[in-house]
Amino acid sequence: MSFNRLWKFYSNAIEQFCKETARNIHEVVNYYALRYQELVVKRNVINDYREVALIAYVFLFDAHYQANGMKVRNLLEKIILNQEEADIVGKRNRLHKIEFSFNGRTLRAWSVQHDNCSEKKELYPTVLEDLFNKRAVFKVKFALLRKNKERLEKL
């Protein structure tokens, strides 16, 4: 998938979210999940072929938990590295200033906060919330299946 095509899909999703843009983003996610899986198999990290959706789900969910288990509302939406862009984005959104010393220099960045407001959320927190909700549904279904299996084994 070319970068231009990917950028077009992402830009359309930001401008107006509809079924077509959701389908396009889904295509992008599947494409990159497959590329990730091919790379993992090529490097012999995983020697067998596993389901793409499973790896994509685990990859995103692990990214969520490796961020010290932050709740979705606290996940960063975007990092801004220069003052000019921060001034422009700061007019529309609330920014959190990040400042730290590195190699004798003070580095500054800003993160855009969505305040758990669905209109302000972009792709990453939305996908994580959707995955979390799907996971909760699957856990309930698996619990019922486990109970049925145990009941049938007793017969």
Statement to judge: residues 27 and 86 lie in one domain:
no
**Does 39 share its domain with 57?**
yes
Question: Looking at the structure, do residues 110 and 65 belong to the same domain, yes or no?
Answer: no
Identify whether the C-beta of residue 1 lies closer than 8 Å to the C-beta of residue 29: no
**For position 116, what pLDDT does the model report?**
63
**Minimal CA–CA distance to 85: which of 104, 110, 107?**
110
Residue ranges of the chain with pLDDT lower than 50?
A: 50-58, 65-70, 72-73
Say if 50 falls within a structural domain: yes
Give the pLDDT confidence score for residue 47 in this predicted structure.
52
The pLDDT, as a whole number, for residue 9 is: 78
Residue 118 DSSP one-character state: T
Q: Does residue 82 share a domain with residue 57?
A: no
Domain count for the chain = 2
Query: Which two tokens mark 137?
Result: 């549904």
Whether 152 maps to a domain, the answer reads no
Entry pTM: 0.35
Long-range contacts of 105-109 (CB under 8 A, 24+ apart): 108/83, 109/79, 109/80, 109/81
Which pair of tokens denotes residue 103?
């190699």
Pairing of strands 94-102, 105-113: antiparallel
How high is the pLDDT of residue 76?
56
Full domain range(s) for residue 18: 1-69
Classified as helix, coil or strand, 90 is helix
65 and 76 fall within a common domain:
no
